[in-house]
Structure formats: structure tokens, C-alpha cells
Amino acid sequence: MTPWISDRKQLAMDNLNGLRDALNETRDITKKRLDYLEWEDYFMATAFLAAKRSKDPVTQVGACIVNEDKIIVGVGYNGMPKGCHDDEFPWNKKTEVDNDNKHLYVCHAELNAIINKNSMNLKNCTMYVVLFPCNECAKAIIQSGIKKVIYMSDKKASKIKTVASKRMFEAAGISYQQFIPRSKKILIDFDEINN
């Protein structure tokens, strides 16, 4: 690293630590914390954290299913099915060889979250998902009993699969809503507990 970059990095770290100390000094430790994560941010952040497990080089998606008691009952991310090793199956999508396309193999985050459920059923649950579900996942969502989908990105809104998902959700009475985060970024600092 060039010396001036490392100096700037150190300066930024010092500023950050200074800010944290200042905040700690003004914090009233006899009162309830106010900068805690809201439920919704917590669930969407869980979906984003799950997405970090994805090996897909282009799009990492995560999904988190929550029941009516605000308990997380399923989490998943996009990845190869069990037994289909992610070093052996293709991550490519633009290929001459037809069956060398990841889209033939990858299990979507939503499907994995549904399959990974740790409760009897998903009746009236809400799914928090990084990207609007495709038509295949929409079918699984509907059949599973999930009643609400909260998504972050609708960047594939014009694709036929997304249009079909919305058509099915509307017919099946599944509400869907774009997520508006309270905070744009959530920082996880493993060292924080030592301060």
C-alpha cells in the first residue's frame, strides 16, 4: 500500500474511534439504548448476511422467513444443490455449451429458505428477500403459505419472470412491498465487544 494511503486509512480509523469514544461518553447507561436495530432492518440484514454465503460471482441473494411471532424460521441463499459441488458445477451464464449455464442448476435463495424451514409450516409468514422473487420461487412461496414478501431490489422488474411473479402474488393474495431501510448501512465490527 502507498504510504499516504495507509496514513489516510489510519487517520480515518482514528477519527472513527474518536467518534465512538465520544458517543460512549454521552451515552446514558442507565437508559434503554435508542440506536438498536428495528425488527425489519434486522430481518432484511439477516437476508443480506445470508447472501454473503453465496458463491455466485454475479448476483448474491439471501432470504429470511419470519413467523407471526417475529421468529426467524428459515434462511437461505442462492447456491448449488446438495451433492452438486460448487467447484464442479458452472457459475457461467454466457456459454456456448448449453448445459454449462448456472441457471440450470442454482437453487434460488427463496427456495432454500423455504426448504431450510425449522418450523412445522410457513403459514402467514413473511419473507424478507434481497431481490424480487422469480416466477419459480413465487410458486413455492405461494404453496408454502407465506403471506407477505418484503424485497429490497426490483432491478429485474421488466423481466417476464418478475411480471409473472407479481401476477401470481396478486391472484393468490400475497402482498409484496419494497423495503425502506431505516439505516442505509449496518456495520458489524467483531472488535466492538472488546471496547
Ligand X SMILES: Nc1ccn([C@H]2C[C@H](O)[C@@H](COP(=O)(O)O)O2)c(=O)n1
Residue 68: active-site member: no
Nearer CB in complex with ligand X: 24/143: 143
Nearer CB in complex with Zn ion: 164/186: 164
**125 contact, one of Zn ion, ligand X, none, CB 5-8 Å limit per kind:** none
Residue 108 binds to Zn ion (criterion: CB under 5 A):
yes
Q: Tell the smallest beta-carbon distance from residue 146 to ligand X (Å).
A: 14
**61 contact, one of Zn ion, ligand X, none, CB 5-8 Å limit per kind:** ligand X
Q: Tell the smallest beta-carbon distance from residue 126 to ligand X (Å).
A: 16
* Measured distance CA(162)–CA(134) in Å, rounded: 5
Identity of residue 48:
F
Binding positions for Zn ion, rule: CB under 5 A: 108, 134, 137
